[in-house]
Amino acid sequence: MNPSLSTSPLATKGITMSVLLPLPLLSSYDYWVPFDMAVETGSYVEVPLGARAVTGVVWGMPTGDVGPEKLREISSVIDLPPMPEDLMRFVDWVAKYTLARRGSVLRMTMSVPKAFDPPKMFTAYRVANGIDIKNESLPGGLRLTAARRRVLSVLDGSRLRTAVQIAKAAGTSASVVRGLAAAAILQSITFEERTPIPQPDLELAGKHLTRAQQAVTERLLASLHGGYSVSLIDGVTGSGKTEVYFEAIAATLRAGKQVMVLLPEIALTADWLRRFEARFGVPPVVWHSGLSDAERRRNWRAVVQGDARLLVGARSALMLPFPELGLIVIDEEHDPSFKQEDGVIYNARDMAVARASIGNFSVILASATPSLETMDNVWRGRYRSLSLPARYAGAALPGIAAIDMRTETTHRQCWLSSGLAQMVDETLRNDEQTMLFLNRRGYAPLTVCRACGHQINCPQCTAWLVEHRLHERLECHHCGYFTSPPKTCPSCGVDGQFAACGPGVERLAEEVRNRFPEKKYAVMSSDTVQKPADVQALVRRMENREIDILIGTQIMAKGFHFPSLTLVGVIDADLGLAGGDLRAAERTYQLLHQVAGRAGRAEFPGRVFLQTFQPEHPVMQALVDGDRDKFLAAEAEARRQHQMPPYGRLAAVIVSGRNEIAVDEVANTLGRTAPSDVRISILGPAPAPMAIIRGRHRRRFLVRTPKDRNIQIVLRNWVFAVKPHGGVRVVIDIDPYSFI
Ligand code: ADP
Ligand code: ZN
């Protein structure tokens, strides 16, 4: 894009260009470019905004929204490569798709404000040319003292070192070094701080692939050179999907392009990084919420400057400004954690595909349980599917059976059926390990007063407080509120009559302790393992057989490989099926399949038992029969009938605020002005299932249009025309994953 020459009388000032700022703004602002300043589209620049200085990106032609006489000047250009044009187009695209403000999307690409500070400079020294350090008299009449001699001998050869390093090695002070430099006996060279990024070793060979893996790899590599394409590696857990995409990564790196791998944050474990390191000789550059500010700055700059060739990260890595991106890999592509639910609401998997399409490169999706959205794209021929149907090294897939809890006997306040308890016992006697899965943190999800039936709720949310005995408190899983367990019922005033209802993993652990007192168990949930190091420690204990029974929530479903784990028991397989979630069945299937995949990963065959009150449910049937494709076909048919995604477009509009009357007013205005088109279905306003979160009242609309309608235009014309008041917020969620 060419900057336009202004024809105003102020043209002597130069030209104007528009600059997009990383602030919640809809559009870019115009600025003058001083005559002596070289900027281009994509340049990072500092501009004045009110009394502030803000770093933004030159977005192109001036908008002309404001007369040239009112415009201010760009203050400076930041010394970084400009944002590539395809990334700018991607920012525009994401804003248009998600209906977020363009500036807010830009901010995601510039998420490290410190990254724009000029790099630290340092000065290094070497002996100047023509200086003979054996000569007793130095130029400039300087005497060769002992300290100076030591400095010169330390600098023997051509190595560059800083004054402090030299002084330390020579046993003197840095001022001696600087004195020699002042006399031109040492030559000083100034460098910019740029921590070297270890580069992947492309000579290293991968594992020797099986024939099936080899065939998939070849097809994958063939797709890498033809511009935009999406390939799905559809392979059972343990089939070597990772080994296969490693080869695609290596090929892309060899072609001189950058690679980004996206993983669910909890899958980004030390084990996984070690596998990476084993394949490429160096650890990858990483991007996740646990980085320090300094690491974020370093890694962001390494991406922009092209030093980071290979980056592995959680969802937010998607927006990093790679200049030479040639491949995005999304492992566990079905994982709901790729959906970001606050700020700019987007699905990183879907946006990654858009980024690749704009940048004209390839995407690889990998999963054992692909999402229906992805499968639909495969069925339509838009994505290529490559299948790995068997586990590596002949490890068998576990047998899965349902335990019908309608006919099983369990003891009061016990959650293990006698059938499952017997299996655990058998497994332990065989000297093998067991995993018990219950996707609920804490001790009990509900506390009631036996005297009056009062249930303890969060004061800020429509939710029960969950008892956590580990922390000795009641917690809200929605807003983080917590309190100590009360002794007296706030409703009837009776003392000590509280009863815990239902199990969480802590309560299950209590039962395990009572039933198998001589066995060692551990609980794995986000309460017991918080840092990657905690996960690592627990994994090691499991591998070293210091744990017989591992009890945990979904965080233990991901990726771990425990060779002696042969039994997986799912305590409440129906847990995810309740509620009005469009994807409840699909997600339950994916999660239980993944948990089941932990069993029997090595030579010992695995067994999986699902405790369920609905053994005839299609999810349980599909798991027991191992017939994923039948389940997907039935699920697809149900969605098609109801015109639900991926066969229709869906969006949620959430109206929220502290003042319930104002919330209802805004929601009702939206209800009155909703488009009346027979092909557009709008449900609402209705109180959200969680009618209050963090003290904010919530009303929801669910909007559905046929696939061929542009739902964004429908929403824009309708929702943006209503101006919320009274602190009410209206949020649009395109392709919603959360229905609370
Ligand atoms: P997936 O990603 O499909 O779950 P992985 O790539 O993690 O499967 O492979 C499962 C296990 O089998 C890993 O420990 C992996 O190193 C090993 N493995 C897979 N393929 C090979 C191979 N061709 N040679 C050696 N080990 C392999
Ligand atoms: Zn709460």
Ligand nearest to the CA of 389: 1
- End-to-end CA distance of the chain: give it in Å, rounded: 44
Tens of pLDDT, residue by residue over 182-197, are 888 888 888 877 778 9
Q: How far is the CA of 605 from the centre of ligand 1 (A)?
A: 17
- pTM for the complete prediction? 0.89
Tens of pLDDT, residue by residue over 480-521, are 999 999 999 999 999 989 999 999 999 999 999 999 999 999
Cα–Cα dist 322/144, whole Å: 52
Which amino acid, 127?
A: V
Q: What is the pLDDT, as a whole number, of residue 639?
A: 95
What is the enclosing helix (H) or strand (E) of 277? helix 270-280
Ligand nearest to the CA of 480: 2
Q: What is the pLDDT, as a whole number, of residue 360?
A: 97
Cα–Cα dist 31/58, whole Å: 9
The token pair at 715 is 């929403």
Q: How far is the CA of 588 from the centre of ligand 1 (A)?
A: 25
The token pair at 52 is 């502030």
Cα–Cα dist 585/369, whole Å: 12
Q: How far is the CA of 522 from the centre of ligand 2 (A)?
A: 28
Cα–Cα dist 602/347, whole Å: 34
SS (H, E, C) 503-564: CCHHHHHHHHHHHCCCCCEEEECCCCCCCHHHHHHHHHHHHCCCCCEEEECHHHCCCCCCCC
What is the enclosing helix (H) or strand (E) of 434? strand 433-437
Residue 720: strand, helix, or coil: coil
Q: How far is the CA of 239 from the centre of ligand 1 (A)?
A: 6
Q: From 278, 322, 280, select the one nearest 303 (Cα to Cα).
A: 322
* Ligand 1 atom closest to 236 (CA): 3
Q: What is the pLDDT, as a whole number, of residue 16?
A: 93
Q: How far is the CA of 660 from the centre of ligand 2 (A)?
A: 17
Cα–Cα dist 281/197, whole Å: 12
**DSSP states of 326-350:** EEEEEETTT-GGGEE-SSS-EEHHH
Q: What is the pLDDT, as a whole number, of residue 3?
A: 45
Cα–Cα dist 715/472, whole Å: 46
Residue 374: strand, helix, or coil: helix
Work out the angle at residue 284's Cα, subtended by the Cα atoms of residues 283 and 288, and round it to the nearest 5 degrees: 120
Q: How far is the CA of 482 from the centre of ligand 2 (A)?
A: 8
Cα dihedral 288→556→447→697 (10° resolution): 30
Q: What is the pLDDT, as a whole number, of residue 11?
A: 43
Q: From 400, 335, 396, select the one nearest 370 (Cα to Cα).
A: 335
Q: What is the pLDDT, as a whole number, of residue 142?
A: 77
Ligand nearest to the CA of 216: 1
Ligand nearest to the CA of 478: 2
Please give all residues whose beta carbon lies within 6 A of any atom in ligand 1, as ranges: 207-210, 213, 235, 237-243, 392, 561
> What's the alpha-carbon Rg for the chain, to the nearest Å?
31
Q: How far is the CA of 552 from the centre of ligand 2 (A)?
A: 23
Q: How far is the CA of 243 from the centre of ligand 1 (A)?
A: 6
Q: What is the pLDDT, as a whole number, of residue 691?
A: 95
- Do the Cβ atoms of 736 and 678 come closer than 8 Å? no
- Do the Cβ atoms of 421 and 627 come closer than 8 Å? no
- Do the Cβ atoms of 605 and 566 come closer than 8 Å? yes
Cα–Cα dist 736/569, whole Å: 31
Cα–Cα dist 408/401, whole Å: 14
* Ligand 1 atom closest to 235 (CA): 3
Cα–Cα dist 258/252, whole Å: 7
Q: How far is the CA of 238 from the centre of ligand 1 (A)?
A: 6
Contacts of 418 (CB under 8 A, 6+ apart): 408, 409, 410
- Counting ligand 1 atoms within 8 A of each CB, the residue from 392, 397, 558, 565 with the most, and so the one to mutate, is 392
Residue whose CA is at the smallest distance from ligand 1 atom 20:
240
Cα–Cα dist 217/245, whole Å: 8
- Counting ligand 1 atoms within 8 A of each CB, the residue from 214, 243, 246 with the most, and so the one to mutate, is 243
The token pair at 583 is 């994807």
Q: From 534, 524, 535, 557, select the one nearest 336 (Cα to Cα).
A: 557
Cα–Cα dist 195/193, whole Å: 6
* Ligand 1 atom closest to 561 (CA): 14
Which amino acid, 371?
A: S
- Do the Cβ atoms of 42 and 57 come closer than 8 Å? yes
The token pair at 365 is 């999706």
Q: How far is the CA of 198 from the centre of ligand 1 (A)?
A: 25
Ligand nearest to the CA of 465: 2
Q: Which residues of the chain have pLDDT under 50?
A: 1-11
- Counting ligand 1 atoms within 8 A of each CB, the residue from 242, 275, 594 with the most, and so the one to mutate, is 242
* Ligand 1 atom closest to 209 (CA): 23
Ligand nearest to the CA of 561: 1
Residue whose CA is at the smallest distance from ligand 1 atom 26:
207
* Ligand 1 atom closest to 244 (CA): 6
Q: From 655, 671, 653, select the one nearest 663 (Cα to Cα).
A: 655
What is the enclosing helix (H) or strand (E) of 234? strand 229-235
* Ligand 1 atom closest to 239 (CA): 3
